[in-house]
Amino acid sequence: MLDTQEGKDPVSRRNRLIIAVLWCMGLRSMELLELRWGDIDLEEGTLLVRVGKGNKQRQLYFNDHLLQDMREYRAGIVTNSA
């Protein structure tokens, strides 16, 4: 699935990150849909799932590779919107 999003355009990069977060962090689709940038701490490398299975909150940790990809993606969004 990741290989289908190998492009360098913003949509392909976003889609690749979505797939990677779902796969690497074990998120359910509804958990992903509820995420906001405020739930992601790129300094600490954590992601907060506010309403998970059973209405429970949990904190997940990015692996080093995914964290770097998230930082680069976020920096690109900030740079391009300025």
Across 64-73, average pLDDT: 93
pLDDT, tens digit, for every residue of 18-34?
A: 889 999 999 998 999 99
Angle in degrees, 0-180, between the axes of helices 64-81 and 10-25, rounded to the nearest 10: 150
Kindly state the helix (H) or strand (E) to which residue 41 belongs, with its residue range. strand 40-41
Across 61-77, average pLDDT: 92
Residue 49: exposed, middle, or buried by beta-carbon count in 10 A (0-12, 13-18, 19+)? buried
Nearest to 30 by CA among 46, 58, 49: 49
Q: Which domain holds residue 54?
A: 2-81
Q: How many domains does the chain have?
A: 1
Report the greatest alpha carbon distance in the chain: 40
pLDDT, tens digit, for every residue of 5-18?
A: 566 777 888 888 88
- Does position 47 have pLDDT exceeding 60, yes or no? yes
CATH number for the domain spanning 67: value is: 1.10.443.10
What's the pLDDT score for residue 79? 66
Torsion of CA 7, 8, 13, 15, to 10 degrees: -20
